[in-house]
Structure 1
Amino acid sequence: MSGRWEPGSPEARQAEGAGIFCLPVPTPFLVGPVNLYLIDDDPLTLVDTGPNSGLSAEALIDGLAALGRRVDDIGRIVLTHQHMDHIGLAGVLARRSGAEVVAIEGLAECLGSYTEWMAADDAFAERVMARHGIPDDVRLALQAVSSSFRGWGAPVQVDRLLAGEASLEFAGRTLEVFVRPGHSPSDTVFLDRDAGILIGGDHLLADVSSNPLIARRLEWGLPGRAADEALERPHQLEIYLESLAQTEAMEGIELVLGGHGPAFRDYRALIAERRALHERRAGKIRGLLEEGPATAHGIAERMWGNVAVTQAYLTLSEVLGHLDLLIAGGAVTSEEDDGVVRFACA
């Protein structure tokens, strides 16, 4: 679980002084509450919505009321990425308020065809898991869990499409838009350059590493392309590290408002810390392979034990991401036999 937003902290006061208010709402997930951000400008804008649940809706309504606002006052809803703890209530809120829904183009297709997209994601995950050694019974259990979670999200029609390097205009500010895939394929961050504030979604979090989960590319669209997708599995950690490098090079950021946990200031130090974490983890995985060749799931079991079963897709994503780095560096090789990939020290 991540830490929590800290009301009354210097960081919170700085954000509020710039007209950006955090509205934490509960989620049913291990990560804990998700931070929504209300931008008190014209139009009144909500960044992310929380999952599709009564508890989340109630917390949002209460948070708005504490600021003298109602759902009906929201004029624009902006979405940072496709995960259901961030987009689940978007459709409900848009219908109630008449707010314009804004997101990048690939995310718009995902959200408009939410049920079909989730089914394609599950089918893709099934093929990746089978190819990398996760047993049939574990895959079946994970698919059941994934299906049970789908109700926390819901379809929503996106009204305005954003391109990378676009901007969102308000009466009193401009938000610059930057696409930063990695944690998900659709991660988008928003910079209020005059205030020095970056609204970062889950791209970079203060207390926990933003796990680069293996996912279908947005450009694959619907329907999925069956087995071809598993063979073309995106190297999600490499994509994420490139996005971190792009954020590291940005100027004018004094404060980062994340999708979970407290706000933070020294984003470059945190990026260096995350990069070092991934280097250490890659080294550990290379060491585990000295025990002998293994599938990615087998490596996860060596590393985390039973957690590799209960959190099989998360740990598989972690291991495959670091194996991609090791293969690119010439430290590890891979070989496929009867549809299953095994890795070994080079």
Structure 2
Amino acid sequence: MSISTAPSSVEEVVPGVHRVRLPLPFALNHVNCYLLEDDDGWTVLDTGLHRPEIYAGWQAAFARLGIALGDIRRIVVTHMHPDHIGLAGRLQQETGAPVFMSPREWEVAEAAWVHGERQDEALPAYLRRVGAPPEVGALVASQQQKLRQMTQPTPVDVAFLNPGETLRMAGRRFEVIHAPGHADGQILFYAPSERLIFCGDQVLQHITPNIGLWPSTQPNPLQRYMESLQSLMALEVTLALPGHYEAILNWRGRLCELLRHHEERLQAAYAAAANGATALEVSYAIFDFDRLSPHEIRFAVAEALAHLEYLAEEGRLERYERDGFVAYRPA
């Protein structure tokens, strides 16, 4: 992997809240992390990958804001994907700060990043079962190993945050909200007094979050994601700070766009399975594979599978065996 040339940057988005944009070596070439200031120190919200260039971005941010490592009081992780948790372990080692995340996300993080060798075996078998050729499974296992290297060392003694709890950051009281779909146990942070939300990767501008079904994923992630979006409609939000791209100012409008996108993709997936199809075949129909990197191919297959499973659970498609693969056809 070659690191993106996207530069690191630090910007105060509201008083006491600084967005730290860090580069990623993917087509999605950056991640938004945040530094939140309180009288007794700072909170780090999400961390980026563990790579020298990305750690240098944190060092530059600390220097710019006059933050010593001992000033970091807490590290909060919205979800276990490597671009959000990757540096949490090293920052914990260097600052002594506790790491907070949801119990489910730590459970999945342990499976993927601490005991990940098991997933290296499970992923190719899983992809083969849904129609991917062996070379795709081997490529995905190799990519997973590289990602795991960028999460080491992993955090220890993780403290848990549960929905309904509150957390004080940047002088504000944030409610912890469970937002599944993109990740089973992803948590968001909402300050009703200021109509401010840290929305992780649940709601993004410009792109739609990946909703995939993986060996470790709880059933029907797309249904849970769409239900989550519906529940988030009830929040009064004037500023949403996401894990990628720019802040979201039209909260309900963006939620409606995401729901509409998945309704359209469900229609496309149903049409692609009209004569029976595997998840790989459906992903060819709804994604432009010529534009996908090896890193992105697995996300396309997992997302197609999530849509097919949604339709199967609705009773519109049925699962059946075809040449040893799981396939789908109209019920």
Kindly indicate whether the alpha-carbon contact (under 8 Å) linking 2:36 and 2:170 is maintained by their aligned counterparts in 1.
Answer: no
1:203-236 per-residue CA deviation (whole Å, 9 max, x = no partner) reads 1111210111223557xxxxxxxxxxxxxx6222
Q: CA deviation at 1:108?
A: 3.0
Give the total of aligned pairs. Answer: 322
Q: 1:29 aligns with which of 13, 26, 49?
A: 26
Tell me the equivalent position of 1:304. 287
Tell me the equivalent position of 2:308. 323
Q: Would you identify which runs of 4 or more consecutive aligned residues in structure 1 move more than 6 Å?
A: none
Q: Using CA pairs below 8 Å that are at least 6 residues apart, which structure has the higher relative contact order?
A: 1
Residues 93 and 264 (structure 1 numbering): CA distance in 2 closer, same or farther, change over 3 Å?
same
Q: 1:245 aligns with which of 224, 227, 230?
A: 230
Tell me the equivalent position of 1:228. none
Q: 2:126 aligns with which of 125, 128, 131?
A: 128
Larger % of strand: which? 2
Tell me the equivalent position of 1:284. 268
Distance 2:171 2:328 in 1: 54
Kindly indicate whether the alpha-carbon contact (under 8 Å) linking 1:184 and 1:215 is maintained by their aligned counterparts in 2.
Answer: no
Distance 2:322 2:102 in 1: 39
5+ residue gaps, structure 1: 219-232
Q: CA deviation at 1:54?
A: 0.8
Secondary structure of 1:169's aligned partner: strand
Distance 2:307 2:104 in 1: 26
Q: CA deviation at 1:312?
A: 3.1
Distance 2:251 2:282 in 1: 31
Kindly indicate whether the alpha-carbon contact (under 8 Å) linking 2:126 and 2:215 is maintained by their aligned counterparts in 1.
Answer: no
Q: CA deviation at 1:190?
A: 0.6
Alignment partner of 1:51 is 2:49: yes
Kindly indicate whether the alpha-carbon contact (under 8 Å) linking 1:108 and 1:158 is maintained by their aligned counterparts in 2.
Answer: no
Distance 1:170 1:184 in 2: 23
Q: What pairs with 1:79-94 in structure 2 (closer than 5 Å)? A: 79-94=77-92
Distance 1:110 1:179 in 2: 15
Provide the identity percentage: 28
Residues 46 and 118 (structure 1 numbering): CA distance in 2 closer, same or farther, change over 3 Å?
same
Tell me the equivalent position of 1:230. none
Secondary structure of 2:245's aligned partner: coil
5+ residue gaps, structure 2: 1-5
Distance 2:121 2:185 in 1: 19
TM-score (norm 1): 0.85
Q: Which amino acid aligns with 2:251?
A: Y
1:13-49 per-residue CA deviation (whole Å, 9 max, x = no partner) reads 6x322x1110111111221111111111134101011
Q: What pairs with 1:1-346 in structure 2 (closer than 5 Å)? A: 15-17=13-15, 19-41=16-38, 42-111=40-109, 115-154=113-152, 155-170=154-169, 172-217=171-216, 234-250=219-235, 252-290=236-274, 292-304=275-287, 306-307=289-290, 310=294, 311-337=296-322, 339-346=324-331
Secondary structure of 2:75's aligned partner: strand
Distance 1:53 1:340 in 2: 38
Residues 198 and 138 (structure 1 numbering): CA distance in 2 closer, same or farther, change over 3 Å?
same
Residues 125 and 112 (structure 1 numbering): CA distance in 2 closer, same or farther, change over 3 Å?
closer
Distance 1:205 1:60 in 2: 23
1:109-156 per-residue CA deviation (whole Å, 9 max, x = no partner) reads 444565444334444433321221111122112212221222111211
Q: CA deviation at 1:305?
A: 5.5
Q: CA deviation at 1:309?
A: 8.7
TM-score (norm 2): 0.88
Distance 2:77 2:248 in 1: 21
Q: CA deviation at 1:293?
A: 1.5
Secondary structure of 1:38's aligned partner: strand
Q: CA deviation at 1:165?
A: 1.2
Secondary structure of 1:40's aligned partner: strand
